Structure 1
Amino acid sequence: MRLNSRYFALGAFAVIAGLLWFYYSEYQQKAKDYDELETKYQTQVIAIKDQQERIKHLSEIDTTRLQELTNAKSKITQLSDDLRTHVKRVYVRAECPVPETASPAGLDGSRPARLEKDAEQDYVRLLGELETLEAQFLGLRDYVKTECR
């Protein structure tokens, strides 16, 4: 009987040791998996923070460029209004050949050349388009500088 109880105790010890070894190896594997996931998580957190900083910076650039474009468009609108109400005039810098004969008394040859009304409107429209294109170009340039660093 003593022999049986020794074998039983030895068998029970072996089973318990086997279970402990099994659960310990499972624990080690889970700890390793946890560490890998924690590393991946931290990498993702850093990437998200970096992306948020980029988005914030791009938003600031967008706000700045939009404000500049709005200011330019308001100046162009003001110029258009001033041209329409004759507060300001658009003059053309041009050289005209002087005729050999004197001009008739009714014409003033010393006045600077001035654009026609439709040409003034075209000038204002083109000026507005130029401001828009310049703002778009500068915005894209800043975007490329920010994203392609």
Structure 2
Amino acid sequence: MSWLPLLKKLAPALAFLVALGAAFAGGWLVNGWRIGEDIAQYRQELAESAAQKIEAAQERAQKRRAEVEALDARYTEELSNAQAEIDRLSDDVAAGRRRLRLQAECPGVSSAPGSAGVDDAGGPRLTDAAERDYWRLRERIGTVTQQLTALQEYVRTQCRATR
């Protein structure tokens, strides 16, 4: 049996199949290169987009930190000024340059017209402990007012700004 005549008959078909296989393999290879380039381009675009978003987020965060620091400095200064004013008023009252006026009653002294009173009685006055408590209360009211104002400004400018 001779394979040669059969091989001669099948040679064009085999050559066609080999050429078709080579073309298919070449197409597969070229398509793989193209897909690889598309993937690389997509990765690069994705990385650039992520970098831009990160940079924008960092800029927003830095801007917000600066705004918060400015608010903090402003209200810290206002709180310090309020404390200095309270200290000045307290010192003025203690030195007698100012008077602390309160509505008060003197127990045992009649306020009816024509009734006798004590001629040498002085005006009503707070005790030393009550005066210290008064100034401490004034100081704390000033502190809380400044803190509340600062927090309201923070909520108005920072918390609501992110919505």
Q: TM-score, normalised by structure 2?
A: 0.72
Q: How far, CA to CA, are the matches of 1:101 and 1:24 in structure 2?
A: 113
Q: How far, CA to CA, are the matches of 1:61 and 1:48 in structure 2?
A: 20
Secondary structure of the residue aligned to 1:148 is helix
Q: How far, CA to CA, are the matches of 1:72 and 1:105 in structure 2?
A: 41
Counterpart of 1:139?
150
Q: How far, CA to CA, are the matches of 1:133 and 1:105 in structure 2?
A: 44
Q: Would you say 1:98 and 2:108 are equivalent positions?
A: no
Q: How far, CA to CA, are the matches of 2:154 and 2:132 in structure 1?
A: 33
> Which is greater in Rg?
2
1:62 to 39, 60, 72: 72
2:32 to 3, 22, 33: 22
Q: How many residues align?
A: 144
Q: How far, CA to CA, are the matches of 2:98 and 2:117 in structure 1?
A: 28
Cα deviation 1:58-81 (Å, max 9, x = unaligned): 111111000000011111112222
Of 58-67 and 74-83, the range deviating more from structure 2: 74-83
Q: How far, CA to CA, are the matches of 2:81 and 2:142 in structure 1?
A: 10
Counterpart of 1:73?
83
Counterpart of 2:52?
42
Runs of 4+ with >6 A deviation: 8-14
Q: CA RMSD in A?
A: 2.9
Q: How far, CA to CA, are the matches of 1:114 and 1:105 in structure 2?
A: 17
Counterpart of 2:160?
148
Q: How far, CA to CA, are the matches of 1:70 and 1:50 in structure 2?
A: 30
Q: How far, CA to CA, are the matches of 1:71 and 1:105 in structure 2?
A: 43
Q: How far, CA to CA, are the matches of 1:106 and 1:135 in structure 2?
A: 44
Q: Which runs of 5+ in 2 are unaligned?
A: 1-11, 13-17
Alignment identity in percent? Answer: 28
Q: Which runs of 5+ in 1 are unaligned?
A: none
1:51 to 61, 83, 87: 61
